[in-house]
């Protein structure tokens, strides 16, 4: 089939061709960028936390009328309240292990510290999210230790968040270790956490900071051997396999039975990591879904436009089609003609669309935190648009192919 007659015929329909080209171009530009944004959201949602998420839950509560923690005596009282809670949780039949831990991946609030290699370094080498907890924290969370050792019971301090007492030892995530010591010799080194010296005694494979941030230091975590004393006390609990719900219910009941003077809201007092993950990413999921829906409708609208215009052309060229059939063209030739015509128009549309998509992407990069649109997205988008065009044109093209040759003999 030669292209020349197709182009010649289209000259009679400049406006219609232009509109289809425009529509395909705009759709490609919008959809490829939107799908790219969606995929970025999804990759954020799917990134691992580094802890074993199944059967893990968090207890977050405050003591009512608790001592202030201003002096050593009242600090000890606060700590005793917390130790009592930990003891109660540990005795529950469905509970495997319990730890004092202020943080939990994805949970939301986060303590941030700066890590430096020397005492007088002006700007820290890296920011890091801090997890304060006792010697059971790492094992309960299930973060995999790849080098060094856990805290031992003797190393655990207890004080308020505002204390200036330094932690002599810390465990860091692999990402942080690599950032501080790119040659892989971080274990045993002395570093400065908020200008105070401390020794790296362990490295965990991976540990996400305690919120769903997308900042570059999302895997830069530090575990400090501190039971944080305060009005708020938070624990992480690992239930025995498959016993998560009973363990959570039992924990609530047991804690209230032991001490009524506490606030532990129904909505977030005790929640599993699954719930926490769900809440942390709900907005991202909602946006991805909404954008996906809009893209789908957009493709539908574009397809409808192609069907509408091509149907019109088929109607207009009824007689010409009849003449071609009378001169020996087979049905399949007519079908091919309209498919080829659509491929030509859509081809121009996707070329313009690809340029528009690139332009839109560049503009979005200047306005928002956005990465460069990968070529694979563009190619997939182009192929998808061409395919949609071919599918949409099939119905009118089939109708055209059914025009009987006898039409040619009828008077105009």
Task: Identify the bridge partners of residue 129 per DSSP, sorted by sequence position.
Answer: 112, 221
Do 162 and 185 touch, CB atoms closer than 8 A? no
CA 412 to chain centre: 62
Q: Looking at 234-242, 245-253, 288-296, 388-396, which segment touches other proteins (CB under 8 A)?
A: 288-296
- Cβ burial of 53 (10 Å; 0-12, 13-18, 19+) is middle
The distance of closest approach from Cβ of residue 262 to other proteins in the complex, given in angstroms and rounded to an integer, is 8
Task: Tell me if 312 contacts other proteins by CB under 8 A.
Answer: yes
Task: Tell me if 30 contacts other proteins by CB under 8 A.
Answer: yes
The nearer residue to other proteins, 135 or 284, going by C-beta atoms, is 284
Do 273 and 57 touch, CB atoms closer than 8 A? yes
Q: How many CB atoms lie within 10 A of CB 10?
A: 15
CA 61 to chain centre: 29
Task: Identify the bridge partners of residue 131 per DSSP, sorted by sequence position.
Answer: 223
Task: Tell me if 60 contacts other proteins by CB under 8 A.
Answer: no
Task: Tell me if 121 contacts other proteins by CB under 8 A.
Answer: no
Give the closest residue to 175 by CA, choosing from 43, 40, 50: 50
Task: Tell me if 3 contacts other proteins by CB under 8 A.
Answer: no
Task: Tell me if 1 contacts other proteins by CB under 8 A.
Answer: no
- Cβ burial of 54 (10 Å; 0-12, 13-18, 19+) is middle
Judged by CB under 8 A, which of 64, 245, 296, 371 binds other proteins?
64
Q: How is residue 374 annotated by DSSP?
A: P
Residues 135-194 that bind other proteins (CB under 8 A): 161-162, 164, 194
Binding mask 225-264 for other proteins (x = CB under 8 A): ------x----------------------------xx-x-
Binding site for other proteins (CB under 8 A): 15-16, 19-20, 22-23, 26-27, 29-30, 34, 37, 62, 64-65, 68, 70, 122-123, 161-162, 164, 194-195, 231, 260-261, 263, 265, 279, 282-283, 286-287, 290-291, 294, 297-298, 301-302, 304-305, 308-309, 311-312, 315, 364, 367-369, 412
């Amino acid at each position: 089939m030669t292209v020349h007659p197709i182009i010649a015929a289209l000259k009679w329909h400049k406006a219609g061709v232009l509109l289809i080209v425009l529509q395909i171009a705009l759709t490609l530009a919008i959809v490829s960028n939107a799908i790219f944004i969606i995929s970025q959201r999804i990759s954020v949602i799917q990134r691992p936390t580094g802890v074993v998420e199944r059967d893990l839950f968090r207890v977050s509560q405050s003591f009512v009328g608790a001592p202030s923690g201003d002096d050593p005596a009242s600090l000890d009282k606060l700590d005793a309240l917390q130790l009592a809670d930990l003891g109660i949780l540990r005795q529950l039949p469905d509970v495997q292990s319990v730890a004092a831990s202020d943080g939990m991946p994805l949970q939301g609030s986060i303590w941030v510290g700066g890590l430096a290699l020397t005492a007088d370094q002006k700007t820290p080498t890296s920011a890091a999210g801090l997890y304060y907890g006792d010697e059971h924290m790492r094992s309960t969370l299930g973060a995999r230790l790849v080098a060094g050792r856990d805290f031992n019971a003797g190393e655990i301090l207890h004080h308020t968040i505002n204390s200036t007492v330094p932690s002599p030892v810390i465990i860091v995530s692999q990402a942080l270790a690599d950032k501080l010591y790119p040659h892989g010799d971080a274990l045993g080194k002395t570093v400065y956490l908020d200008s105070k010296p401390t020794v790296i005694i362990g490295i965990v494979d991976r540990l996400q900071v305690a919120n769903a941030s997308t900042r570059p230091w999302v895997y830069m975590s530090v575990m400090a051997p501190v039971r944080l004393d305060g009005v708020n006390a938070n624990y992480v609990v690992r239930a025995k396999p498959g016993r998560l719900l009973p363990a959570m219910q039992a924990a609530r009941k047991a804690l209230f039975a032991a001490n009524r003077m506490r606030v532990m809201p129904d909505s977030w007092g005790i929640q599993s990591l699954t719930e926490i993950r769900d809440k942390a990413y709900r907005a991202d999921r909602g946006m991805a879904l909404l954008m996906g829906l809009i893209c789908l409708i957009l493709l539908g609208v574009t397809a409808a436009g192609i069907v509408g215009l091509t149907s019109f052309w088929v109607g207009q060229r009824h007689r010409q089609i009849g003449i071609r059939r009378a001169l020996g063209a087979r049905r399949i030739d007519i079908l091919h003609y309209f498919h080829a015509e659509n491929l030509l128009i859509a081809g121009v549309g996707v070329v313009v669309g690809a340029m528009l998509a690139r332009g839109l992407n560049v503009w979005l990069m200047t306005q928002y935190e956005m990465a460069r649109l990968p070529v694979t997205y563009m190619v997939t988008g182009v192929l998808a648009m061409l395919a949609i065009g071919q599918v949409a044109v099939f119905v009118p093209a089939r109708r055209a192919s059914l025009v009987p040759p006898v039409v040619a003999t009828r008077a105009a």
